[in-house]
């Protein structure tokens, strides 16, 4: 038989806002130009103020952890354009956000109180109890599990004929997990309205992207399952917004799954339990600092006459007050009732767990102190 080409593919990379803060006029008109997939100046202004707020939250959370008032915390620093651009493109109260743990800004946009994120990382389960009507699932720490949840939510929406789209987030390392492949395969086979959003921040904890996967791009993994794929500059809020907006509309029209690879960088450590200086070249970090989405977005606003040093100072001070108020709320919350950890696992709590709950002990002596004299009584016989 003659040799023929069985399959060819091309993956495009989208950048609209250049690193110097100027828009690619072939792709966008300043201020939106009437195209709903292009951010307006008002939206960019709003997003930038949220970047300032979230960056302040990051720094504050870091200090809380270092001072022993909070447990491990993963900073979002450097990846804010991914969360904000995608969060703005999804419909609040209609679509679902299924996060990993670097999507604070998207979660806040969709109704999750800031207090709850800090409570979560302080180890307080009440941080996962979102207000009614908030269509965001709790933060997923196990790598990759949330993609399966997102696929299920999207399948349910399709079966119930609801006008809903689900956006789930994960890192480049998660695409080497089995959960990613199972979720992607099921989602594409069932043609569910789901967006798989990969924040490729170049590091799977301490393993560089080049070592944890042999794929030249993360996006091409979506091709293997029949998804529409798009690679974007993840530090370009315009590109992220457009890619997610287009994917959302495609899903609403029955176009199924889109996988988006957003090229970005984790400017901080993996978490506060990590020291990235042990494995990352500082020159690499400094090069990416120059690509910080906050710098790029501010340059754009300044070029449009919409931002200046005075506004920067004003909003930084405002953010400081806001975040201090959030922290004060969190630190003043009453301690949870320890029995709560037993109350939601079973419809009828087993006897052995009832005993643990009532005594707050797991060992037999703690659960029945009367045993302390049994050995002496036996020896006295």
- Listed by start position, the domains of the chain span 13-332, 338-380
Active site (annotated) includes residue 102: no
Q: Print pLDDT tens along the chain (381 aa).
A: 699 999 999 999 999 999 999 999 888 877 666 899 999 999 999 999 999 999 999 999 999 999 999 889 999 999 999 999 999 999 999 999 999 999 999 999 999 999 999 999 999 989 999 999 999 999 999 999 999 999 999 999 999 999 999 999 999 999 999 999 999 999 999 999 999 999 999 999 999 999 999 999 999 999 999 999 999 999 999 999 999 999 999 999 999 999 999 999 999 999 999 999 999 999 999 999 999 999 999 999 999 999 999 999 999 999 999 999 999 999 999 988 878 788 878 889 999 888 888 888 877 777 777 776 655 655 565
Looking at residue 336, what is its pLDDT? Answer: 82
- Among 213, 209, 169, 166, smallest CA distance to 74 is for 169
209, two tokens: 């992207």
Q: How many CB atoms lie within 10 A of CB 325?
A: 12
Catalytic residue among 120, 270, 296, 298: 270
Q: How many CB atoms lie within 10 A of CB 28?
A: 19
**Whole-angstrom Cα distance, residue 101 to residue 256?**
25
| Angle in degrees, CA 58, 140, 56, rounded to 5 | 10
Catalytic residue among 55, 266, 296, 315: 266
**Inter-residue contact 47 to 297 (CB < 8 Å):** yes
Residue 24, CA atoms < 13 Å, CB-side half-sphere = 13
Active site (annotated) includes residue 266: yes
Return the C-alpha torsion angle 23, 239, 110, 312, nearest 10. -30
**Whole-angstrom Cα distance, residue 105 to residue 84?**
6
Looking at residue 379, what is its pLDDT? Answer: 58
**Whole-angstrom Cα distance, residue 80 to residue 102?**
8
Helix (DSSP H) and strand (DSSP E) numbers for the chain: 15, 8
245, two tokens: 């907006």
- CA-to-CA separations, 125 to 172, 328, 331, 336, 338, in angstroms, rounded: 28, 18, 15, 9, 11
Residue 176, CA atoms < 13 Å, CB-side half-sphere = 16
Looking at residue 357, what is its pLDDT? Answer: 87
Active site (annotated) includes residue 110: no
Bridge partners (DSSP) of residue 200 are: 263
**Whole-angstrom Cα distance, residue 85 to residue 1?**
50
Looking at residue 200, what is its pLDDT? Answer: 98
Looking at residue 327, what is its pLDDT? Answer: 97
Pick the CATH number of 13-332 from 1.20.1060.10, 3.40.50.970, 3.30.450.20, 1.25.10.10: 3.40.50.970
Q: What is the pTM of this model?
A: 0.91
């Amino acid at each position: 038989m003659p040799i023929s080409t069985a399959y060819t593919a091309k993956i495009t990379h989208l950048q609209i806002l250049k690193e110097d803060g100027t828009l690619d006029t072939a792709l966008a008109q300043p201020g939106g130009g009437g195209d709903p997939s292009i951010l307006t100046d008002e939206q960019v202004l709003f997003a930038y103020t949220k970047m300032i707020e979230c960056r302040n939250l990051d720094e504050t959370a870091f200090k809380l952890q270092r001072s022993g008032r909070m447990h491990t915390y993963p900073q979002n620093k450097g990846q804010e354009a991914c969360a904000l651009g995608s969060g703005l493109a999804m419909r609040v109260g209609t679509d679902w956000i299924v996060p990993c743990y670097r999507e604070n800004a998207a979660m806040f946009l969709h109704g999750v109180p800031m207090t709850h994120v800090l409570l979560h990382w302080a180890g307080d389960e009440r941080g996962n109890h979102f207000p009614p009507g908030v269509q965001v699932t709790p933060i997923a720490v196990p790598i990759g599990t949330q993609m399966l949840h997102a696929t299920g939510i999207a399948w349910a929406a399709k079966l119930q004929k609801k006008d809903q789209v689900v956006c789930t987030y994960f890192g480049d390392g998660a695409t080497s997990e089995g959960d990613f492949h199972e979720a992607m395969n099921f989602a594409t086979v069932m043609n569910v309205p789901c967006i798989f959003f990969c924040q490729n921040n170049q590091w799977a904890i301490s393993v560089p992207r080049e070592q944890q996967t042999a794929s030249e791009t993360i996006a091409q993994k979506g091709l293997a399952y029949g998804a529409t794929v798009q690679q974007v500059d993840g530090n370009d809020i315009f590109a992220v917004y457009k890619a997610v907006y287009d994917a959302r509309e495609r899903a609403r029209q029955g176009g199924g799954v889109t996988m988006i690879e957003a090229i970005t960088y984790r400017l901080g450590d993996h978490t506060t339990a990590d020291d990235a200086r042990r494995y990352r070249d500082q020159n690499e970090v400094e090069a990416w600092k120059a690509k910080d989405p906050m710098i790029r977005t501010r340059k754009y606003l300044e070029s449009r006459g919409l931002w200046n040093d005075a506004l920067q100072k004003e909003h930084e001070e405002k953010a400081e007050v806001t975040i201090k108020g959030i922290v004060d709320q969190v630190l003043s919350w009453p301690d949870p009732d320890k029995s709560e950890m037993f109350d939601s696992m079973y419809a009828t709590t087993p006897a052995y767990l009832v005993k643990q709950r009532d005594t707050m002990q797991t060992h037999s002596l703690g659960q029945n102190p009367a045993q302390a004299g049994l050995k002496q009584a036996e020896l006295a016989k």
